[in-house]
């Protein structure tokens, strides 16, 4: 049964009327038209649906929407815009880290939350941090370089 | 996914009452195993009672030195906590050896204990499985057994418990604090999970409606010198082939105290009590470590696909103890 709830997404409060057990990913994509987060496996394994909940990277595909009420949700759209991408988004563009692009939302969201906590990571730490994000094109080397580039940009900023 | 009612528990007593009133209701923690199973058809509750807003989200040191971990403490938070890293390093290491960052950010302490086996036949609803559908048979026996049990299995089930955290807690003499309709009880972690016997559908001794509110760790000085060693097919985001949680206190070359538990090899975290008995009071030498490992593993029964695990576990235990003895 639908219930009206207030969701804080990308610094704005949205009112949504959906079943409270609907997974957050569907509400973000279908109701709020935020298509950054992707449906990959639906089993909290692949990382394509990653968002930030109070700044922490989590899977939105297994999180009932009502469980997210009261928390700060950030999606890829909340990091930057096409006109003004975030340093991480810009680094992914500069390194041409995208092939098909389906996993990239999760890569950027996970990497952003990680860099916020570890501004000066080693290459191995970056690889470990991204272990919950699967890429089937095989662009991992470029993705790691992009995160290294964003870290460098962050240190210079 | 079968339609279900989602509700948030107002308080612990109401959460327990909600389950008692509905045999098909379940508690929801981080959702990283339950929701997967609802999608796969492995679980099909009609009511999901979200307990993550209940006030069990703290890690506290009690006056007598015990550490009380709230049921809703997230795995990432527990792994990073100063008390855990300094007093129980094996627990912090075990948590960080499991899952991915996103999963650890969501998974709760109670949910980690309650997660179910990743046996492929259990998770595939088209194959017989005594755990999922009692009496239907075990597809793993005679099937793909690389990830299956070598200790304590039965003819009905050879699945293993997937948790790393619980292995460390087993070695640490942890107790699970549980609230039920008739009040609170404490269950030693070593007795919390079950061996499969002829009821593999029962993972734990919990009764329907009982809610985990905390896990208590005893003061246990030996735990400050401990480690968790996990062997797996990939370096990250993989379940254990075998794992060892070990704590060792060596004084003047003699073992004063020791704790050992195994993961990835049984239906529950396997506390290696026989090995501990042999080691207490003996010399901290490779020969004694090997003797302890061989004694504990004398009861091992492997499958065609996992015979390698016996030697792998033996070597992993000996290496872990040598590392601890060398650094003593």
Chain A residues in contact with B39 by the CB 8 A cut-off are 42-43
Q: How far apart are CA B79 and CA B92, in angstroms?
A: 4
Say what the pLDDT of residue B228 is. 98
Say what the pLDDT of residue B226 is. 98
Q: How far apart are CA A21 and CA A44, in angstroms?
A: 16
Could B103 and A67 be called an inter-chain contact, meaning their C-beta atoms sit closer than 8 Å?
no
The mean pLDDT value of chain B amounts to: 97
Q: What CATH number should be reported for the domain whose range is A87-156?
A: 1.10.150.120
A53 and chain B in contact, CB less than 8 A: yes
Does 1.20.1080.10 match the CATH number of domain A3-79?
Answer: no
- For testing the chain B interface, which of A20, A73, A131 should be mutated: the one with the most B CBs within 10 Å? A131
**If you ran DSSP here, which 8-state letter would residue B273 be given?**
H
- For testing the chain A interface, which of B102, B108, B125, B233 should be mutated: the one with the most A CBs within 10 Å? B102
Topology classification of domain B224-326? Enolase-like; domain 1 (3.30.390)
- Structural domain B5-50, CATH architecture: 2-Layer Sandwich (3.30)
Q: For residue B328, is pLDDT > 80?
A: no
pLDDT digits (tens, 9 = 90+) for A78-98: 999 999 999 999 999 999 999
Say what the pLDDT of residue B68 is. 98
A73 close to A16: Cβ distance less than 8 angstroms: no
| Residue (of A149, A150, A138) closest to A103 by Cα position | A138
Say what the pLDDT of residue A157 is. 64
Q: How far apart are CA B251 and CA B284, in angstroms?
A: 9
| Domains of chain B, residue spans | 5-50, 224-326
Helical axes A140-156 vs A87-94, angle rounded to 10°: 130
Q: Which of A106-110, B1-5, B210-214, B228-232 has the lowest mean pLDDT?
A: B1-5
Low-confidence ranges of chain A (pLDDT < 70): 157
Q: Which residue has the tokens 């792998």?
A: B312
| Domains of chain A, residue spans | 3-79, 87-156
Q: For residue B254, is pLDDT > 70?
A: yes
pLDDT band at B1 (very low <50, low <70, confident <90, very high): confident
Give how far A95 is from chain B: nearest CA, Å: 24
Give the residue on A whose Cα is nearest the Cα of B53: A67
A21 and chain B in contact, CB less than 8 A: yes
Say what the pLDDT of residue B327 is. 66
- Report the first-to-last Cα separation within chain B, whole angstroms: 53
Could B105 and A20 be called an inter-chain contact, meaning their C-beta atoms sit closer than 8 Å?
no
Q: pTM here?
A: 0.97
SS3 state of residue B270: strand
Give the residue on B whose Cα is nearest the Cα of A133: B100
A47 close to A90: Cβ distance less than 8 angstroms: no
Determine the average pLDDT of the residues in B202-218: 98
| Residue (of A144, A92, A70, A150) closest to A116 by Cα position | A150
Could B101 and A114 be called an inter-chain contact, meaning their C-beta atoms sit closer than 8 Å?
yes
pLDDT digits (tens, 9 = 90+) for B107-157: 999 999 999 999 999 999 999 999 999 999 999 999 999 999 999 999 999
Determine the average pLDDT of the residues in B219-237: 96
pLDDT digits (tens, 9 = 90+) for B55-109: 999 999 999 999 999 999 999 999 999 999 999 999 999 999 999 999 999 999 9
Q: Which residues, at least 6 apart from B280, have a Cβ–Cβ distance to it below 8 Å? A: B255, B256, B257, B258
- For testing the chain A interface, which of B75, B100, B106, B108 should be mutated: the one with the most A CBs within 10 Å? B100
- Measured from the Cβ of residue B311, the count of other Cβ atoms closer than 10 Å reads 14
pLDDT digits (tens, 9 = 90+) for B159-179: 999 999 999 999 999 999 999
Chain A residues in contact with B31 by the CB 8 A cut-off are 44, 62-64, 67
Could B101 and A63 be called an inter-chain contact, meaning their C-beta atoms sit closer than 8 Å?
no
């Amino acid at each position: 049964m639908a219930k009206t709830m207030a969701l804080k997404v990308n610094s704005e409060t949205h009112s949504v009327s959906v079943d409270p057990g609907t997974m957050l990913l569907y509400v973000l994509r279908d109701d709020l038209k935020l298509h950054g987060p992707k449906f990959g496996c639906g089993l909290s394994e692949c990382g394509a649906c990653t968002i930030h909940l109070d700044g922490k990277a989590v899977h939105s595909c297994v999180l009932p929407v009502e469980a997210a009420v009261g928390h700060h949700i950030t999606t890829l759209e909340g990091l930057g815009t096409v006109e003004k991408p975030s340093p991480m988004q810009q680094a992914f563009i500069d390194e041409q880290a995208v092939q098909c692009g389906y996993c990239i939302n999760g890569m950027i969201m996970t990497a952003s939350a990680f860099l916020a906590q570890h501004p000066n990571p080693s290459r191995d730490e970056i690889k470990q941090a991204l272990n919950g994000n699967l890429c089937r094109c095989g662009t991992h080397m470029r993705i790691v370089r992009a995160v290294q580039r964003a870290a460098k940009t962050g240190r210079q900023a | 996914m079968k339609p279900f009612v989602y509700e948030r528990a107002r308080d612990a007593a109401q959460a327990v009452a909600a389950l008692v009133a509905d045999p098909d209701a379940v508690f929801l923690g981080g959702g990283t195993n339950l929701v997967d199973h609802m999608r796969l058809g492995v679980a099909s509750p009609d009511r999901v009672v979200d307990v993550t807003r209940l006030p069990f989200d703290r890690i506290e040191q009690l006056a007598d030195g015990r550490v009380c971990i709230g049921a809703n403490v997230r795995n990432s938070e527990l792994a990073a906590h100063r008390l855990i890293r300094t007093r129980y390093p094996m627990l912090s290491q075990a948590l960080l050896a499991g899952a991915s960052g996103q999963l650890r950010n969501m998974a709760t302490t109670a949910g980690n204990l309650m997660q179910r086996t990743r046996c492929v036949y259990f998770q595939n609803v088209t194959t017989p499985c005594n755990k999922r559908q009692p009496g239907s048979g075990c597809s793993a026996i005679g099937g793909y057994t690389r990830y299956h049990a070598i200790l304590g299995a039965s003819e009905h089930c050879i699945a293993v418990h997937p948790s790393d955290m619980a292995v460390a807690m087993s070695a640490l003499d942890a107790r699970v604090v549980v609230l039920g309709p008739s009040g609170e009880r404490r269950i030693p972690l070593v007795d919390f999970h079950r061996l499969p016997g002829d009821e593999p559908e029962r993972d734990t001794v919990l009764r329907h409606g009982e809610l985990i509110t905390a896990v208590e760790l005893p003061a246990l000085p030996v735990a400050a010198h401990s480690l968790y060693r996990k062997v797996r097919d990939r370096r990250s985001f993989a379940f254990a082939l075998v794992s060892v949680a070990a704590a060792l206190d060596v004084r003047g070359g003699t073992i004063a105290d020791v704790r050992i538990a195994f993961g990835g090899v049984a239906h529950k975290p396997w506390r290696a009590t026989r090995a501990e008995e042999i080691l207490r009071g003996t010399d901290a030498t490779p020969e004694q470590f090997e003797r302890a490992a061989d004694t504990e593993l004398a009861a091992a029964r492997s499958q065609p696909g996992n015979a390698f695990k016996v030697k792998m576990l033996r070597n992993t235990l000996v290496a872990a103890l040598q590392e601890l003895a060398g650094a003593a």
